[in-house]
Amino acid sequence: MPRLIIDTDPGIDDAFALALAARSPECDLVAVTTVHGNVGLDLTTRNALKVLKLVDREDVPVGRGAARPLVYPTAVEKTAVHGGDGLSGQAALLADRERGVEPEGAVALMARLIRESDEPVTLVPIGPLTNVAALLAAHPEAADGIDRLVVMGGGLTGGNVNAAAEFNVWADPEAAYRVLVEEDIPTTLVPIDLTYQCAVDADWLARLAAAGPLGAALEPMTGVYRAAYAKILGYDGTVIHDAVAVAEAIFPGTLKTKRVPLTVDTAFSPRRGGTLADLRLNAEPTPGFRLVNVAMETDVPAFTDLMLRRLS
Ligand code: BDR
Ligand code: CA
């Protein structure tokens, strides 16, 4: 059974992804670690605890991680997309978890749990890659205890923050370069090209709201986020990016991947924070690129049905 550590910046789609993992008996959710991103670290940490309370998981340790990118501060916080509280204004309605954060913090918690685990751990970063880069810098031996990284991030044909950059890579390009290009842990990258294909519509959201207490709590969290995505999608619906990556981590092989050389642009140019995949037939990695398994397609109805079942 996959043993997951989810590194997250909740965030609405992060909340859906955490709920999926927490409600899936096919995986062991070993820990959740928090990072700056969709909102500041205090709020992402509070939201992670509240979401775990919602799914009745007092047992999962939570480690508080990095409050800012490794090197350069991020220019803007994306509060417009997830609401000022990160959960479309719903956070105040959610109960706090009795068990707070672990005293040791995200990086030490990850390092210890990986070291103590009998089985390799799947690390699932669904926010900026700051904590993961810090883990691999401070505890290089941790790489031996990680069977793979399943990373939500990047874009093959462009970004969502700007023309080039997807949010999680844009929010800490140096960390993304370290993790995606300089390390050699087997990595599956779940880019926005695929997550957009897995968008859910108003009918799916109505079924979620009617599916039971968890769905009824999660559906209103999509409010601000859904309005932002309705403009992008051109219809009433939303995109639960992070849940696509977590589904792959729980059920390896759910996503069809292509092994391609990939890099991250860290230059100060309009392409900063962009991912560049070498999609030429049988391309070999050139310096500054690494072979990464990029998720290209999946059975979309099977994914959206899985989400409805698990969040019911
Ligand atoms: C990613 O950015 C965040 O807004 C989402 O939570 C997701 O992790 C999508 O680009
Ligand atoms: Ca996220």
Each residue's pLDDT tens digit, 265-308: 999 999 999 999 999 999 999 999 999 999 999 999 999 999 99
Q: Ligand 1 pocket: which residues have CB below 6 Å?
A: 11, 13-14, 38, 81, 126-127, 152, 160, 166-168, 192, 241-242
pLDDT recorded at residue 74: 76
Helix axes 12-22, 41-54, angle to 10 degrees: 40
**CA of 8 relative to ligand 2 center, distance in Å:** 6
Q: What domains does the chain contain, in order, with CATH numbers?
A: 3-310 (3.90.245.10)
- Atom of ligand 1 lying closest to residue 239 CA: 9
- Atom of ligand 1 lying closest to residue 192 CA: 10
**CA of 295 relative to ligand 2 center, distance in Å:** 17
**pLDDT over 90 at 139, yes or no:** yes
82 is catalytic: no
**pLDDT over 70 at 79, yes or no:** no
Each residue's pLDDT tens digit, 153-209: 999 999 999 999 999 999 999 999 999 999 999 999 999 999 999 999 999 999 999
Q: Considering every ligand atom, which ligand is closest to the CA of 190?
A: 1
- Atom of ligand 1 lying closest to residue 78 CA: 4
Q: Considering every ligand atom, which ligand is closest to the CA of 166?
A: 1
Return d(Cα 78, Cα 88) in angstroms, integer. 12
Each residue's pLDDT tens digit, 118-131: 999 999 999 999 99
**CA of 168 relative to ligand 1 center, distance in Å:** 6
Each residue's pLDDT tens digit, 85-122: 999 999 999 999 999 999 999 999 999 999 999 999 99
Mean pLDDT of 38-59: 97
**pLDDT over 70 at 240, yes or no:** yes
Average pLDDT, the chain: 96
pLDDT recorded at residue 80: 76
pLDDT recorded at residue 78: 53
Which residue is it, tokens 């899936």? 24
